[in-house]
Structure 1
Amino acid sequence: MKAIKLNKVYIWAIALIMAGCTDLEIEQTDSVFADLSGEFSGVEAGPSLSALYNSVRGQIENQENLYALTEVSTDEFVVPTRGTDWGDNGVWRTLHSHTWSATHQRVKNTWNDMNSNVYNATTIIDSRSNPTPQQAAEAKFLRAYSMFWLIDLFGQVPFRTPDEGPDVNPNVMTRSEAFDFAVTDLTEAIPNLPSTGPSADLVGASKAAGMLLLAKFYLNKHIFTGTGTAAAADMNQVISLVDDIKAEGFDLQAGFFELFTDDVDSETIFFTTSSVGNNIWNGLHYKQIVPDQAGGWNGFTTIAEFYDLFEGDPNINTPGSGQEERRGFVPTDGTNFGIGNGFLIGQQYDANGDPYTDRTGAPLVFTKELPGLLGNNERTGIRVIKYNPANGAFANHKIVLRYADAHLMKAEALMRSGGDATALINELRTLRGATPIGSVTEQDILDERGRELYGEQWRRNDLIRFGQFTAPWSYKEVSGDDTKNLFPIPATAIISNPNLVQNPGY
């Protein structure tokens, strides 16, 4: 244990650690200690790395901050107000309608979470913390993961070294500088990460996870660095990295909804022990119950345009209706306690196969259309569920990175470098029970990513890369404003650090 004196603890360091930890008691060995001159003496690398993983776990579990910014701001999800339910002073409505501001709480929280991760990882990586090569590599992976979201969401990254005290305003990396920094982190980390194929041990960073995150950076490089056009060399990097991931033993797997359980599969590359309860219950109706949860929270829905991307009769989604596998189904015989997979539309049924009614006694029929972001009743909106509560109402197994994403990234990189991605797209579509496409276009690839990866926090990033994040869709108030491709730097951060410059449009 490192020797410390409590009267030499920087309050700012404790605050950063506490902000970055979830459900973890902070001990002296977990915190960052410095004397009053700013001298940093290191942290206990092992416990601090565990605390950092725990912080990331909590952030991924949360439906409010990172998840809200990456999903509710897109055409995948909308959170309509139902009476007074889900009003929350408009925080959900402003995300979907693209009318957020620099004081939006979800924006502020996400900024703080990711910056806290970056700083805490930096203290672990520091040589004075004496990390093992693998500990340093895992911390670099988590730092790069957090920097990815700062680059993607905000376009700039403040960076404080462990020796800098609270009187020092952190330097701010541009988007391009932060890209280079994170790519260096991953390039250095991958050789020292464990080579772990499909298993139950993928709760920590592995070579495959590092390679997939690095491929994400290269796929988005033309966006992050502002060149506007994907370079063939960068796309070749993506293709090569995905091939290397496959060589680690990962591959596509049949049985789409079986992937979203805690069983070992060939697709999951990195998961956390985050509870999936929010993803299950934030959309289900109050009366939809299982033995270990007495009903949903009746909030999140999708919009008709996104639902219509899937094959099948748009007006019915019961078993055997000709829909592709990923659209799921609404069981009519009590299967899975009556709770379906995928997109729940139309009449809903209980565990006995009897039709549900809502709390007013009306048939519980989830509708395709909403009256708007306001004025909704209990039944409006298609509900979306990937993690079925039959596998645990609050199961602790949430996928962060998986191979189907990498497969589609390879297809996109091939298309962007002048190749033909049709075979790769159809390989996945055939596996998912969808009709093969004759000739794949850029729009086909974006749509396929939506069908495969809905709810996995990539939709906003994808829409921006394909130039469609500012396009109009239902219940969206602001369209065509490219400044919305970045969120504002929180007002409190601008005030506290004069090195930050507010993003255009705010």
Structure 2
Amino acid sequence: MKMKFFNLELKSIALLSMSLFFFLTSCQDYLEEQPSTLIDSDYIFTTEDGLKSGVVSLYKFNRDRYDNGTEDFMGAVLMSSRSDLAFSRTGYTGLMGRYQRGVSPVDQGANFVSSLFWKHYYNLANKATAIINAAEVVQGVDAATKNQILAEAKFFRAEAYFYLYRMFNNIYITTETITVDNAFNVINDKSSKEEIFALLNSDLSFAVEHLKWNDTFGRVTKGTAKHVKAKVAMWQGDWEEAKNQAISLIEEGPHSLVPTTADVFAGDRNNSEALFVIQSKDDLLGGGGNTMMNANYVTQYFQIPGIESNVEQGGRGFSRVLPNLYLLNLLAEDPNDTRDDNTYFRLKYYYTSGDKVGQEITIYKPITDLDNPSPTYQSYYQRLHPSCIKFAQEDDNPNSYLNRSNIMVYRLAETYLIAAEAIMRSSGDPLPYINAVRTRAGAAPLESVDQQAILDERARELAFEGHRWFTLKRMGQEVINSQITKYAGDGEYFPVNLGDKDPRENWQPHYINFPIAQIDLDLLGSSYPQNDGY
């Protein structure tokens, strides 16, 4: 008999002990929860403190994708590697980003995606659902507390299903708590788009209504829920709803753009622009694990004699996923744009020791003339190429690939760009919203807005934050086909990745949906549909 694909973990938990189901994740001031001992399922699902602890555990489960070390922490960077803004130089992430792996239900890349995304987000959705259903019937908990518990759990359920839908399209949703009794039920068909969005909007509407504007740093708030609800509306083509949610967040909430681009990723990301930050704190029980997220994005400049690893120049990296010429040219269009000036990206590197301290390093050259290619271009890409430094944190260890740093997931700059696009596609003036982002960056204001202007501004502002792939897919098959086949990778300027390593050549239109791994299909009913083209 086949079993629900997302019930594998639950079955073993139920048979062994539900005490591990939400074993606690935090202490002291981390999300302001205290750990407990001897926790069992009755405590979790029938008491106020247990339900609160269960909610805190959702933050840990949500963070697991970033903490997972599979193939140099591929789960943290995969979505950025598959875009029109990056070239994926090497490693298994490079194979994925170049569409050499993760393109068949039976290849190893699909198996990695199964673990890092499919199973991960179903795990999160199932745990959130169990809390929701328990909280709705629990006795002795006041209404305000119960609504707070429900609102956070419903946000995470919506977040999980929304991510799954955007990656895989053919997904199944449920509001049923999984138990030993129903764990062997077979799922034979995907949920309809209408069913999926009905649940997303219901969960997020509840979260918007009952979450507070301000809460402990790291917790989701009314602003987080409004932001995601606006994103969901964009996927539905409900431009009025997207506009209303975005403008409400901008005008009614306590959030504001920080004054300069240098402030956005400074410190621990606890600033007025942050809408949701995944916390990883040193020397704290439940404070997360070390990851190589930043290292994936930073070049190996430290291998050059006369320069040591330092956080200011990006920390210690290994050049997996780097900004391509298309993105760098977008950033360079306005000479006053500060987003390419050691804020979001590091373009130049400087000696830190020896008799050349402070001088720019120029020993390797990129290809600028295709008729006379640089003989050192490969070393340039490996050691001197511009890097994304959004994920380097001031207290990182510059001598280690592994660091524990906070991760900005959602921020208000994207809300402004959502408002601009939604207004452009409905009614009103989008210019104040897109120009607010540009003005903060020192770039000249735009005089008109169209779809390409939105795409370009999202690239400059949000590159490598995990949104680009979904933006291209949301805008449709023609847009994603055009952007990937024109711009992905660096083409002739990085000839080592031409031929079967060129993402522009490898792209196929059906890659707009990730394949459902065969190992997951085997746990579903025989009629459950694979995505088209696989």
Tell me whether the two structures share a fold, i.e. TM-score over 0.5: yes
The worse-fitting range, judged by mean Cα deviation, of 211-220 and 417-426 is 417-426
Residue 101 of structure 1 corresponds to: 104
AA in 2 matched with 1:257: A
Residue 353 of structure 1 corresponds to: 357
How is 1:201-220 mapped onto 2 (pairs within 5 angstroms)?
Answer: 201-220=216-235
The change in CA–CA distance for 1:245 and 1:364 in structure 2 (over 3 A counts) is: same
Aligned: 1:251 with 2:251: no
Aligned: 1:458 with 2:432: no
The change in CA–CA distance for 1:27 and 1:125 in structure 2 (over 3 A counts) is: farther
Displacement after TM superposition at 1:22 (Å): 10
The change in CA–CA distance for 1:448 and 1:206 in structure 2 (over 3 A counts) is: same
The aligned length equals: 446
AA in 2 matched with 1:51: S
Q: For residues 85 and 441 of structure 2, what CA distance do their matches in structure 1 show?
A: 19
The worse-fitting range, judged by mean Cα deviation, of 179-188 and 474-483 is 474-483
Residue 363 of structure 2 corresponds to: 363
Displacement after TM superposition at 1:120 (Å): 0.6
Q: For residues 315 and 407 of structure 2, what CA distance do their matches in structure 1 show?
A: 22
CA contact (8 A) 2:218 2:279 kept: yes
AA in 1 matched with 2:80: E
What TM-score results when the alignment is normalised by the length of structure 2?
0.73
The change in CA–CA distance for 1:175 and 1:64 in structure 2 (over 3 A counts) is: farther
CA contact (8 A) 1:270 1:402 kept: yes
Aligned: 1:125 with 2:132: yes
AA in 1 matched with 2:200: A
The change in CA–CA distance for 1:285 and 1:189 in structure 2 (over 3 A counts) is: same
Displacement after TM superposition at 1:23 (Å): 7.4
Aligned: 1:301 with 2:322: yes
How is 1:346-495 mapped onto 2 (pairs within 5 angstroms)?
Answer: 347-350=349-352, 353-354=357-358, 363=363, 376-377=378-379, 378-379=382-383, 381-393=385-397, 394=403, 396-467=405-476, 468-471=479-482, 472=485, 473=487, 474=489, 475-478=502-505, 481-495=508-522
The worse-fitting range, judged by mean Cα deviation, of 426-435 and 126-135 is 126-135
SS at match of 1:308: helix
Give the structure, 1 or 2, with the largest relative contact order (CA under 8 Å, sep 6 or more): 2
Larger helix fraction of residues = 2
AA in 1 matched with 2:274: T
Unaligned stretches of 5+ in structure 1? 1-8, 35-39, 222-229, 314-321, 330-340
The change in CA–CA distance for 1:26 and 1:486 in structure 2 (over 3 A counts) is: farther
Displacement after TM superposition at 1:123 (Å): 0.6
What TM-score results when the alignment is normalised by the length of structure 1?
0.77
Aligned: 1:183 with 2:188: no
CA contact (8 A) 1:22 1:58 kept: no
The change in CA–CA distance for 1:265 and 1:10 in structure 2 (over 3 A counts) is: closer
CA contact (8 A) 1:304 1:368 kept: no
Q: For residues 224 and 406 of structure 2, what CA distance do their matches in structure 1 show?
A: 16
Q: For residues 126 and 444 of structure 1, what CA distance do their matches in structure 2 show?
A: 44
Residue 265 of structure 1 corresponds to: 271
CA contact (8 A) 1:348 1:355 kept: yes
SS at match of 2:439: helix
CA contact (8 A) 1:367 1:381 kept: no
Residue 532 of structure 2 corresponds to: 504
CA contact (8 A) 2:158 2:204 kept: yes
Q: For residues 455 and 16 of structure 1, what CA distance do their matches in structure 2 show?
A: 38
Residue 7 of structure 2 corresponds to: none
Q: Deviations over 1:193-243 (max 9, x none)?
A: 1221xx7x231111111111111100111xxxxxxxx3xxx2111121122
CA contact (8 A) 1:70 1:460 kept: yes
CA contact (8 A) 2:73 2:292 kept: no
Displacement after TM superposition at 1:384 (Å): 1.5
The change in CA–CA distance for 1:76 and 1:117 in structure 2 (over 3 A counts) is: same
SS at match of 2:191: strand
Q: For residues 320 and 369 of structure 2, what CA distance do their matches in structure 1 show?
A: 15
Displacement after TM superposition at 1:174 (Å): 2.8
Q: For residues 56 and 21 of structure 1, what CA distance do their matches in structure 2 show?
A: 14
How is 1:38-49 mapped onto 2 (pairs within 5 angstroms)?
Answer: 44-49=50-55
The change in CA–CA distance for 1:426 and 1:122 in structure 2 (over 3 A counts) is: same
Displacement after TM superposition at 1:168 (Å): 1.2
Displacement after TM superposition at 1:496 (Å): 0.8
CA contact (8 A) 1:219 1:413 kept: yes
SS at match of 1:271: strand
Displacement after TM superposition at 1:93 (Å): 1.8
Q: For residues 177 and 369 of structure 1, what CA distance do their matches in structure 2 show?
A: 53
Q: For residues 192 and 415 of structure 2, what CA distance do their matches in structure 1 show?
A: 27
Q: Deviations over 1:357-392 (max 9, x none)?
A: 7xxxx9366778999xxx944337432212444454
Displacement after TM superposition at 1:297 (Å): 2.6
Residue 12 of structure 2 corresponds to: 11
Q: For residues 329 and 458 of structure 2, what CA distance do their matches in structure 1 show?
A: 14
Displacement after TM superposition at 1:312 (Å): 4.8
Q: For residues 139 and 17 of structure 1, what CA distance do their matches in structure 2 show?
A: 19
Question: Which residue, out of 201, 225, 235, partners 2:239?
Answer: 235
CA contact (8 A) 1:470 1:484 kept: no
RMSD over equivalenced CA pairs, Å: 3.7
Q: For residues 366 and 345 of structure 1, what CA distance do their matches in structure 2 show?
A: 13
Aligned: 1:55 with 2:55: no
CA contact (8 A) 2:301 2:383 kept: no
SS at match of 1:29: coil
Question: Which residue, out of 334, 337, 346, partners 1:324?
Answer: 337
SS at match of 1:301: strand
Q: Deviations over 1:146-202 (max 9, x none)?
A: 111001001133345224533112464233321211111111222221221xx7x23
Displacement after TM superposition at 1:61 (Å): 5.1
Q: For residues 237 and 291 of structure 1, what CA distance do their matches in structure 2 show?
A: 41
The worse-fitting range, judged by mean Cα deviation, of 492-501 and 165-174 is 165-174
Q: For residues 328 and 139 of structure 1, what CA distance do their matches in structure 2 show?
A: 39
How is 1:146-225 mapped onto 2 (pairs within 5 angstroms)?
Answer: 146-159=160-173, 161-162=176-177, 163=179, 164-170=181-187, 172-196=190-214, 201-221=216-236
Unaligned stretches of 5+ in structure 2? 1-9, 27-34, 282-289, 303-307, 398-402, 490-501
CA contact (8 A) 2:89 2:321 kept: yes
The change in CA–CA distance for 1:304 and 1:135 in structure 2 (over 3 A counts) is: same
SS at match of 2:87: coil
SS at match of 1:124: helix
Q: For residues 95 and 28 of structure 1, what CA distance do their matches in structure 2 show?
A: 44
Q: Deviations over 1:304-337 (max 9, x none)?
A: 1121111358xxxxxxxx35111124xxxxxxxx
Q: Deviations over 1:274-318 (max 9, x none)?
A: 4796343222316251389983233221211121111358xxxxx
The change in CA–CA distance for 1:20 and 1:488 in structure 2 (over 3 A counts) is: farther
